[in-house]
């Protein structure tokens, strides 16, 4: 079985989730990294898409136009070759506002999709569609050689791409309102690690911090080693997304044995019940200084287990589930 993935090979900034998926699949299927030449001319049985909107985006209007033309040819090729299309739903909806012509192309791609992979059972799929639920894998093997370093008491951490819906400015504002007199020493600090989506967003964050020396920024893409160091140094990881459905960042923090604070919803409640409620701390309503203070105190309580239970997130199991999903998709296409 030959599977063309929707991400290219060899980039240092590629999401480790995708790289771990490719690595775990390689003993079972032939995995191809994405290039337009390969997509339009090579033989493969399955095309596996993750964020298909990326395929029609370009850094300049000319590049975007070229990509839309290639994507149209790609849709024709998928139809003529009757190629099985599998799509992983990482979010309920795209967080990128696409132009109307891009939305029409993506709707056509959705119509070509044979099987949908959900990362949790709460993700909606089209009516009567083939679906397969495969939990997001952990990061323990990926970061295993980097799991060192001491915790800095009082350190709060946000890490990951910085986009408006992730609520990082709200976190900075709430942190600055903390009543440190109500907390035990040492003095809390906040570390923000990640690349902002826009320069304006970076400037807004720094204005919100107002030069508070307790707030530190690393506003760029962090290497695996830098990220592991930042997570291991944190006493609590805070992910204040206004929309949280699947979070690779939460799984990464848990993989490095760090508690996370996340908004309460059906998905995060299920994650807490799976891995341990003293590892996944949830809050309702807007993020506030009071929420942060309470979570920091709870993160210091003795835990029922020395590490989060990620036994259902092993990549060996996830790889087998993906191969099964690919087989179902191929069988569905051939039976039509």
Sorted by sequence, the CB contacts under 8 Å of residue 221 that are 6+ apart come out as: 13, 194, 195
Residue 147, pLDDT score? 63
Bond prior to 312 in cis (omega within 30° of 0): no
> Do 281 and 257 form a contact (C-beta atoms < 8 A)?
no
Helix axes 224-233, 248-255, angle to 10 degrees: 70
pLDDT, tens digit, 9 for 90 and up, residues 28-81: 999 999 999 999 999 999 999 999 999 999 889 999 999 999 999 999 999 999
Residue 182: pLDDT band by 50, 70, 90 thresholds? low
Say which CATH class 2-137+314-335 falls into: alpha beta
* Residue 10 confidence class, pLDDT cut points 50, 70, 90: confident
Query: Could you give the CA distance from residue 109 to residue 107 in angstroms, rounded to a whole number?
Result: 5
Is residue 94 pLDDT above 80, yes or no?
no
Residue ranges of domains in the chain: 2-137+314-335, 144-310
Q: How far apart are CA 266 and CA 122, in angstroms?
A: 8
pLDDT surpassing 60 at residue 95: no
Q: Residues near 220 by Cβ (< 8 Å), separated by ≥ 6?
A: 194, 195
If one counts every other C-beta atom within 10 angstroms of the C-beta of residue 211, the result is 7
**144-310 placed in CATH 3.40.50.2000:** yes
Measure the CA–CA gap between 170 and 40, rounded to whole angstroms: 44
pLDDT confidence of residue 173: 95
**Statement: residue 191 has pLDDT above 90:** yes
For residues 181 and 23, give the distance between their C-alpha atoms in angstroms, rounded to a whole number: 49
pLDDT value of residue 257 = 94
Cβ atoms of 276 and 306 within 8 Å: the answer is no
Q: What pLDDT score does 184 carry?
A: 63
Q: What separation, in Å, do the N-terminal and C-terminal C-alpha atoms of the chain show?
A: 19
User: What six digits make up the tokens of 91?
Assistant: 């979010």
Share of the chain above pLDDT 70, in %: 96
Summary mean pLDDT of the chain: 92
Name the band, by pLDDT with cuts 50, 70 and 90, for residue 97: low
Distance CA 211, CA 317 (A): 47
Fold matches, 2-137+314-335 and 144-310: yes
Q: 163, 276 in Cβ contact below 8 A?
A: no
What whole-number distance in Å separates Cα of residue 266 and Cα of residue 300?
25
Distance CA 33, CA 48 (A): 10
Going by pLDDT thresholds of 50, 70 and 90, the confidence category of residue 210 is confident
For residues 166, 221, 268 and 107, what is the CA-based torsion angle, rounded to 10 degrees? 70
For residue range 121-153, list pLDDT tens digits in order.
999 999 899 999 999 999 999 988 776 678 899
Instruction: Return the residue matching tokens 């639920």.
Output: 133
Measured from the Cβ of residue 310, the count of other Cβ atoms closer than 10 Å reads 20
């Amino acid at each position: 079985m030959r599977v063309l993935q929707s991400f290219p090979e060899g980039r240092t900034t590629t999401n480790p989730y995708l790289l771990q998926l490719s690595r775990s699949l390689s003993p079972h299927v032939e995995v191809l990294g994405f290039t337009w030449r390969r997509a339009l001319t090579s033989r493969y049985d399955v095309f596996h898409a993750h964020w298909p909107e990326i395929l029609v985006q370009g850094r300049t209007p000319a590049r975007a136009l070229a990509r839309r033309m290639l994507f149209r040819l790609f849709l024709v090729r998928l139809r003529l070759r009757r190629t099985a299309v599998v799509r992983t739903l990482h979010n309920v909806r795209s967080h990128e506002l696409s132009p109307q012509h891009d939305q029409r192309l993506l709707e056509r791609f959705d119509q070509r999709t044979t099987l949908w992979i959900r990362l949790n059972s709460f993700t909606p799929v089209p009516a009567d569609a083939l679906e397969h639920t495969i939990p997001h894998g952990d990061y323990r093997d990926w970061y295993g050689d980097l799991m060192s370093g001491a915790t800095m008491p009082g350190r709060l951490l946000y890490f990951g791409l910085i986009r408006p819906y992730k609520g990082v400015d709200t976190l900075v504002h709430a942190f600055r309102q903390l009543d440190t007199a109500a907390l035990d020493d040492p003095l809390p600090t906040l570390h923000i690690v990640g690349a902002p989506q826009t320069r304006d967003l970076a400037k807004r964050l720094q204005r919100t911090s107002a030069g508070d020396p307790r707030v530190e920024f690393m506003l760029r893409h962090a290497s695996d080693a830098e990220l592991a160091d930042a997570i291991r140094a944190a006493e609590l990881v805070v992910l204040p997304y206004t929309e949280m459905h699947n979070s690779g960042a939460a799984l990464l923090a848990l993989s490095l044995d760090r508690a996370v604070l996340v908004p309460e919803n059906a998905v995060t409640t299920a994650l807490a019940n799976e891995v341990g409620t003293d590892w996944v701390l949830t809050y309702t309503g807007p993020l506030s200084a009071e929420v942060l203070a309470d979570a920091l105190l709870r993160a210091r309580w003795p835990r029922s287990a020395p590490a989060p239970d990620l036994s259902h997130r092993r990549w060996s199991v996830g790889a087998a589930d993906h191969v099964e999903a690919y087989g179902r998709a191929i069988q569905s296409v051939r039976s039509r």
